């Protein structure tokens, strides 16, 4: 169950990052994508731990496996995606890129819709 939650968690992150591309294909995806982006931004900007993390740790502990400290991002994503020596400035630029990408996609979609 814990591994399934890790997969779900990762799928959510991928959807937050790239779901705007689905919105380009079908606007109805925005109903799911915008709240997902808002939730992810809230979690990251406030330092809140996503509720899936303690749930996953609980499954691991019930299975006799140690859980982990911190959140999903710190445990799984940062060691894989972010090399040692990554500065806060570079992390900020990466975060800004994700926001800018999604804003660009939505603005482009809205402008395209006005001309159709």
Give the pTM: 0.65
For residues 47 and 39, the model is more confident at 39
Buried b (16+ CB within 10 A) or exposed e, 5-37: bbeebeebbebbbebbebbeeeeebbeebeebb
The domain tally of the chain equals 1
- Per the structure, the complete domain to which residue 73 belongs is given by 2-115
Q: Given a cut of 80, is residue 21 above it in pLDDT?
A: yes
Q: What is the pLDDT of residues 43-78, one digit of tens each?
A: 777 767 777 777 777 877 787 766 556 555 556 665
Q: Given a cut of 60, is residue 81 above it in pLDDT?
A: no
């Amino acid at each position: 169950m814990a591994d399934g939650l890790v997969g779900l968690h990762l799928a959510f992150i991928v959807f937050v990052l790239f779901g705007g591309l689905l919105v380009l294909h079908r606007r109805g995806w925005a109903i799911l994508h915008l709240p997902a982006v808002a939730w992810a931004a809230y979690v990251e900007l406030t330092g809140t731990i996503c509720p899936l993390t303690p749930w996953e740790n609980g499954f691991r502990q019930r299975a006799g496996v140690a859980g982990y400290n911190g959140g999903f991002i710190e445990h799984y994503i940062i060691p894989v995606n972010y090399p040692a020596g990554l500065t806060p400035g570079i992390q900020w630029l990466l975060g800004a890129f994700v926001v800018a990408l999604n804003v660009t996609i939505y603005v482009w979609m809205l402008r395209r819709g006005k001309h159709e």
